Every structure is written in C-alpha cells, then in structure tokens.
C-alpha cells in the first residue's frame, strides 16, 4: 500500500493552549483509520488540519508527498462528513449532494446520474426532491456521506459522524460505513471517542490523549497489547497492576511471580500489567496464587461482573460462572492473559 | 400552563381599548362625512376619492420613493456591516452590536436636531467646507437631508435582523461549502447570502415601514413644506382638522403596509 498522507511533527496552539504536541502519522491508501481518544485529546483538530479548516502551528501535512498545510480546503482532494451533518437547509437532497459537482460545472444530466447512484449506495433511492430538514438523523447522515463521496475524493474525513444517532441506528450505520468504504475503495479517516466503534470498523486505530499519539495499531493489537496504562484503561475495561519484570517471560506483581509471554524489557524494570476482566476465571482458592473475597456480583446479560477484593486491590472479573458475595475465591489466568506494558511517565 | 391562561385577560382588555376601538373609530371616520352626530351617520366614499387627486397621489409616490431609497441604502451599508460584525468572536460582537444600538438610546428628536445643526447653511459642515475654500452647499430642507436623517435613524433596524440571521447560522455550513470546493465568493453567494435572506427580508420590512410612515424627520429636516404621507396625516388631524380624510389616508397606508408585508413574507417563504 502507498502512503497517501503523512503528518510530520504536527503541533497546534490555540491561544496559549497546546492542543497537538507533535503528531507523526502515516496514512495509507484504502485504509480505514480511526483517531480515538477522549474529548479534548486533539483528534478533531488533527482531522480539521487534514481538511484544511485549521493551519498547524508547526509541522507538515504531506499529501502524495506534497506539502498542503497552507492549501485552502476547496483545493484539497478530501471531503468531510461533519458531526452534525451540516446539510444546506435551503437545498433539497439532490441539490445538497450535487453541490460540489455544480461548482465544478459538471453537466446537469451527469450530476443527476451521479446523485442517483449515490442515493442508491446509501439506501435512499427516490429521495431526490425531499427537504433535508425533514429527514431523520440517520437519513441526514446518509445524505451527508453521499454529498461527500459524490466528489470522488481520495480521502473521506468523518468527524464523529454517528455521535448524534441512537444506539440501534449507530450499529447499523457502522456496518454500512465499513461496507461503503470497501465499495468505493478510498481512505477513511474516522474520528470517534467510542472505543467499540473504533475496534469494530477500523484497519488501524490511533489512540490519542493530551495532544499526543499513545499507540498506533490494528484493533487486536490495541486491545490485546496496549502499550501503556492510558490505552489499556481507555479501550475496554481492565485491571491495571504495578509490577516488576524479573527477566524475560517472568513478571512479579501482588507478591507472586508469574510466567508470561512478554520479553524485551530490562531485568527488574518497573512495569504495569493489564489483566482483562474476561481473561480472569473464578476458581477454588487452593488452585490459585491470588485469592480474595467476592464483594459484589452484577448480572450484565451475557456475563456476570464480579468484584473480588484481595489484600492489595479489587479485581474486576467478567465470567459466566456465578459466585455469591462473601465467598473466598481464587483468580486464575494463564501466561498469555498477562499483558505487560511500560510504566507511564507522569503527565 | 392552564393556570396561566387567565393572565392573558388584562392584555386583551388593554388591546381592545387601545388598539381595536381606535382602529374601528378610524374606519368609522374614514367612511363617513364630516359633521356627523352620533346617531345620524352618513356613509361616503368621498374621503377615498379625494385621495386620488394628483396632489395627494404625489405625496404617496414621494413617500414610496424616499422609503425605497432609504431601504436600499440601509441594505447596501447594513449588510456588509452586519457580515463583518458576525465574523468577530462572541464578545467583540456584543460590543459592536451595542455600538450599533447606542444611538437609539438617545431621543430621535435630539438626534435629528443635531443633524439640523450639522447640515444648516451656516452649520458645522459648511463651516468646515469654507475652511477648505469650498463655497457653502445647501443641504437642509432637501431630499438629501431627509434621506440622511431616515438612514441614520433606521439603520439599526436593518443591521440587527441581518446580524441575527448571520450569527445563528451554523458555521459548519460555511466549512461544508469550502470542503465541497466552493471558494469564498461562491460560499457567500450559494450559502451565506441564501441563509441570511430571512434577516434581510425582516430588515427591509422594518426600515421601509418606518421610513414611509415617519413624520418627525421629514418635518424637521425637510421643512414645513415637505410632505410625506406621515406629514399629510398629521396635518389633516392637527392643522386642517379634517379627521375623516386623515382617517382615510391612515387606512390606505395601513392597507399598503399589509400588502407589502404579505408580499415580503411570500418572498421569504419561497427562498426557504
């Protein structure tokens, strides 16, 4: 795959506040890339810099190897799907979608054809003459996607496009967006704070916090091998425990030594360990090193969420087994369930 | 909400006494002859027929001409100003809007007297001109002075509705236009202007209605002989004492205003 966009040491200051602190990111052709992070992490600013709505304070944006950070939005080969859709209220569905083509003085009959094809793709056949202000949120969203894609951009930027939709339509749109991306075969850069959305749709997830990239990787990498406490805490639920890496494949935490699959740390390096709640099993106390008392059990539908209090901390466990409160239990997990990560510097 | 329903009653009484009854009286005067007793009314179209005389038609034509010129200039100056104001941050915007409205805190008469001093043959402007070696220009008691007075007084009524519609416009619509390939001029023509039309229509309506029905400004800046429709009504009531004819002109003006307003509303709806 070819590199399409390169962000090089991008920084952005608003007044005296630093929003981006040196972003380096390569974005490839035909990639579904998600910028994931809590609000204020700089993900939207990054997107707006790529779109051309903001100019970086420092650093470069390369598009096919050419610096574009000073280029106005209307000269860039990218299109945006806005958070609140930003459909033009004075134009109908067809005129909204045809807006970009109209500006390019494309022949009216060609525009009509392309609009029709786009509406078919987003599942809104026959909606040409409808008033956009009377459409439902999901329909407006589809029009917004069609309006951007009809211009055949090289990159589609999506700024929390599903944020305003209710849970059920959001799920449905996730599947459709992924399908559309594969159909048109262009790069999608997707901004969200919803980790589930990011994991289920993306080829690459970029986890951001405080204007810095925390980790770049595939959804499985991000989930299974979080690089630090922030990523582990932000993606899914996790038990994070401080410990020491005795040597390769051997880690110590909570007073016990465990075999693990991680290596490459310094001997006796202070590290942090992630134990995912679904990787922990409840067993009899004599079968496990770590033991504790069940403090709380909550039924969550597919599984129970059990809080087990040990001498040092409280572990969260997701399991289909029931364990009544007050019982003493052991916590069992295998070497591959232990994820060792670098201890995070103080922010 | 139901328990608040009774709160509307004082307002109904108020508007019946101060709006509905006077309006009915105006209509009664307009359609009757002079010198009626309470019980012997003689109805007539004569008051309206009288209005068709050239002298009076000219007055209404002149009023319209001045109203249109004033409205046009207010729009020409007001739209760019409202647009520029709406580009600033919220805080600066409210200060600028305050500056637009501050003149309205001062009594209109006082402001108009100030113009008289500025524009008079031996007024401040002519003094300044004479320093530059330019011979005095007659500005008072001309169309120029009246239009100037109207513009200065009614400009805020153009700026504020336009600014409101520009300001409440979702800024992401402008970004969307850029994003889809529109440059600044195209974005203005295809998006910003189109979405600000309701404000423009409101502004035009306000300024036009105010300027065709005013009588103080033309009286002071145009002089005693200067007749606009407002002055005509005033003189019929105050100096001539023909309440019937005055009422008829008032009704005609009201009908013209109603027609104008419904036309503008229609235009507004079409553009949406």
| Average pLDDT of the segment spanning A78-96 | 94
| Average pLDDT of the segment spanning A190-215 | 93
Chain B residues lying within 8 Å of A104, measured CB to CB:
181
Taking 60 as the threshold, does the pLDDT of residue B63 lie above it?
yes
Q: What pLDDT was estimated at residue A332?
A: 92
Are the beta carbons of B180 and A147 separated by less than 8 Å? Answer: yes
Q: What pLDDT was estimated at residue B1?
A: 62
Q: What pLDDT was estimated at residue B35?
A: 67
Taking 60 as the threshold, does the pLDDT of residue A48 lie above it?
yes
Q: What pLDDT was estimated at residue B43?
A: 81
User: Where residue A257 falls among pLDDT bands split at 50, 70, 90?
Assistant: very high
Angle B219-B150-B76 from CA coordinates, rounded to 5°: 160
| Average pLDDT of the segment spanning A97-107 | 94
Pairwise CA distance, residues A53 & A287, whole Å: 59
Q: How far is CA A217 from CA A195, A227, A273, B16, B82, in A?
A: 13, 10, 19, 74, 49
| Average pLDDT of the segment spanning B231-242 | 88
Q: Rg of chain A over CA atoms, in angstroms? A: 24
For tokens 């994003």, name the residue: B179
Closest-approach residue (CA) in chain A for B183: A74
Are the beta carbons of B179 and A84 separated by less than 8 Å? Answer: no
Mean pLDDT, all residues of chain B: 89
The Cα of A88 is separated from the nearest Cα of chain B by a number of Å equal to: 7
Strand partners, A294: A308
Closest-approach residue (CA) in chain A for B184: A74
The Cα of A198 is separated from the nearest Cα of chain B by a number of Å equal to: 24
Pairwise CA distance, residues B69 & B133, whole Å: 31
Of chain A, the percentage scoring pLDDT greater than 70 comes to 99
Taking 90 as the threshold, does the pLDDT of residue A110 lie above it?
yes
> B120 lies in a domain?
yes
A84 SS3 class: coil
| Average pLDDT of the segment spanning A68-94 | 93
Tokens describing residue A210? 């405080």
Q: What pLDDT was estimated at residue B36?
A: 59
> B11 lies in a domain?
no
**Residue B214's closest CA among B115, B146, B142, B141?**
B146
Q: What pLDDT was estimated at residue B5?
A: 83
Domains of chain A: 3-224 (3.40.50.300), 239-342 (2.40.50.140)
Taking 70 as the threshold, does the pLDDT of residue B127 lie above it?
yes
Q: What pLDDT was estimated at residue B139?
A: 85
> B261 lies in a domain?
no
Tokens describing residue B181? 């390939």
CATH code of the domain containing B155: 1.10.3720.10
Report B:148-177 residues touching A (Cβ under 8 A): 170, 172-173, 175-177
User: Where residue A1 falls among pLDDT bands split at 50, 70, 90?
Assistant: confident
Taking 50 as the threshold, does the pLDDT of residue A139 lie above it?
yes
Q: What pLDDT was estimated at residue A21?
A: 93
Total structural domains within chain B: 1
A265 SS3 class: coil
- Per-position DSSP letters for chain B, written without gaps between them: -GGGGGGHHHHHHHHIIIIIHHHHHHHHHHTB-SS--SS---B-SHHHHHHTSHHHHHHHHHHHHHHHHHHHHHHHHHHHHHHHHHHS-HHHHHHHHHHHHHHHHS-HHHHHHHHHHHHSTTSHHHHHHHHTTPPP---TTSHHHHHHHHHHHHHHHHHHHHHHHHHSS-HHHHHHHHHTT--HHHHIIIIIHHHHHHHHHHHHHHHHHHHHH--HHHHHHH-TT---HHHHHHHIIIII--HHHHHHHHHHHHHHHHHHHHHHHHHHHHH-
Taking 70 as the threshold, does the pLDDT of residue B39 lie above it?
no
Q: What pLDDT was estimated at residue B7?
A: 86
Interface residue of A14, A53, A72, A73 to substitute, partner B, most B CBs within 10 Å: A73
Taking 60 as the threshold, does the pLDDT of residue A171 lie above it?
yes
User: Where residue A346 falls among pLDDT bands split at 50, 70, 90?
Assistant: very low
Per-residue DSSP letter, A131: B
Q: What pLDDT was estimated at residue B108?
A: 86
> Residue B130: which domain range?
56-229
> B186 lies in a domain?
yes
Taking 90 as the threshold, does the pLDDT of residue B213 lie above it?
no
Q: What pLDDT was estimated at residue B271?
A: 56
> B258 lies in a domain?
no
Chain B residues lying within 8 Å of A83, measured CB to CB:
172
Pairwise CA distance, residues A187 & A30, whole Å: 4
> B66 lies in a domain?
yes
> A154-163, B14-23, B121-130 — which is least confidently predicted?
B121-130
Q: What is the pLDDT of residues B68-123, one digit of tens each?
A: 999 999 999 999 999 999 999 999 999 999 999 988 888 888 888 889 988 888 88
Chain A residues lying within 8 Å of B165, measured CB to CB:
none
| Average pLDDT of the segment spanning B170-193 | 94
| Average pLDDT of the segment spanning A120-144 | 92
> B39 lies in a domain?
no
> B109 lies in a domain?
yes
Mean pLDDT, all residues of chain A: 91
Closest-approach residue (CA) in chain B for A144: B176
**What is the separation, in whole angstroms, between the first and last Cα of chain B?**
32
């Amino acid at each position: 795959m070819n590199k399409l966009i390169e962000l090089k040491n991008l920084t952005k200051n608003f007044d005296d506040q630093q929003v981006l602190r040196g972003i380096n990111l390569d974005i490839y052709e035909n990639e579904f890339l998600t910028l994931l992070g809590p609000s204020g992490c700089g993900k939207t600013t990054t997107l707006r810099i790529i779109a051309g709505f903001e100019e970086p304070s420092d650093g470069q944006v390369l598009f096919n190897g050419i610096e574009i950070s000073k280029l106005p939005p209307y000269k860039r080969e990218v299109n945006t799907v806005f958070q609140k859709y930003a459909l033009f209220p004075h134009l109908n569905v067809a005129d909204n979608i045809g807006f970009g083509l109209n500006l390019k003085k494309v022949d009216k009959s060609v525009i009509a054809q392309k609009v029709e094809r786009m509406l078919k793709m987003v599942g809104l056949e026959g909606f040409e003459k409808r008033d956009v202000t009377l459409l439902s949120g999901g329909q407006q969203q589809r029009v917004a996607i069609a309006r951007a894609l009809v211009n055949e951009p090289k990159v589609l930027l999506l700024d929390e496009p599903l944020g305003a939709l209710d849970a059920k339509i959001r799920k449905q749109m996730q599947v459709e967006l992924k399908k559309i991306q594969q159909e048109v075969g262009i790069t999608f850069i997707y901004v969200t704070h919803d980790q589930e959305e990011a994991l289920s749709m993306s080829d690459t997830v970029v986890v951001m916090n405080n204007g810095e990239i925390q980790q770049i990787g595939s959804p499985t990498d991000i989930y299974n091998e979080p690089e630090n406490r922030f990523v582990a805490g932000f993606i899914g639920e996790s038990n994070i425990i401080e410990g020491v890496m005795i040597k390769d494949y051997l880690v110590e935490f909570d007073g016990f030594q465990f075999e693990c699959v991680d290596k490459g740390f310094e001997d006796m390096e202070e590290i942090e360990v992630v134990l995912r709640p679904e990787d922990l099993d409840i067993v009899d106390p004599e079968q496990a090193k770590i033991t504790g008392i069940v403090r709380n059990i909550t039924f969550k539908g597919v599984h129970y969420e059990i809080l087990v209090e040990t001498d040092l901390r409280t572990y969260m466990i997701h399991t289909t087994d029931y364990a009544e409160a007050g019982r003493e239990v052991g916590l069992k997990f295998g070497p591959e369930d232990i994820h060792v990560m670098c201890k995070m510097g103080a922010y | 909400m139901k328990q608040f329903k009774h709160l509307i009653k004082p307002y109904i009484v108020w508007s019946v006494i101060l709006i509905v009854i006077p309006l009915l009286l105006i209509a009664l005067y307009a359609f009757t002859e002079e010198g009626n007793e309470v019980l012997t009314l003689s109805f007539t179209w004569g008051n309206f027929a009288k209005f068709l005389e050239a002298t009076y038609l000219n007055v209404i034509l002149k009023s319209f001409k001045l109203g249109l010129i004033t409205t046009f200039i207010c729009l020409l100056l007001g739209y760019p100003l409202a647009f520029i104001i709406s580009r600033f941050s919220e805080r600066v915007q409210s200060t600028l809007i305050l500056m637009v409205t501050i003149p309205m805190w001062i009594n209109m008469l006082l402001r108009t007297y100030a113009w008289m001093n500025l524009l008079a043959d031996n007024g401040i402007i002519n003094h300044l001109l004479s320093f530059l070696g330019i011979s005095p220009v007659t500005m008072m008691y001309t169309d120029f002075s009246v239009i100037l007075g109207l513009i200065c007084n009614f400009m805020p009524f153009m700026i504020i509705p336009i600014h409101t519609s520009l300001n409440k416009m979702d800024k992401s619509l402008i970004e969307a236009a850029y994003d889809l390939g529109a440059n600044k001029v195209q974005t203005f023509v295809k998006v910003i202007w189109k979405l600000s039309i309701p404000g423009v229509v409101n502004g035009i309506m306000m300024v036009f209605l105010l300027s065709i029905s005013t009588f103080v400004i033309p009286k002071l800046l145009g002089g005693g002989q200067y007749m606009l429709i407002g002055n005509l009504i005033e003189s019929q009531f105050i100096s001539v004492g023909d309440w019937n004819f005055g009422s008829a002109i008032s009704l005609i003006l009201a009908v013209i205003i109603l027609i104008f307003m419904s036309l503008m509303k229609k235009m507004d709806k079409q553009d949406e």
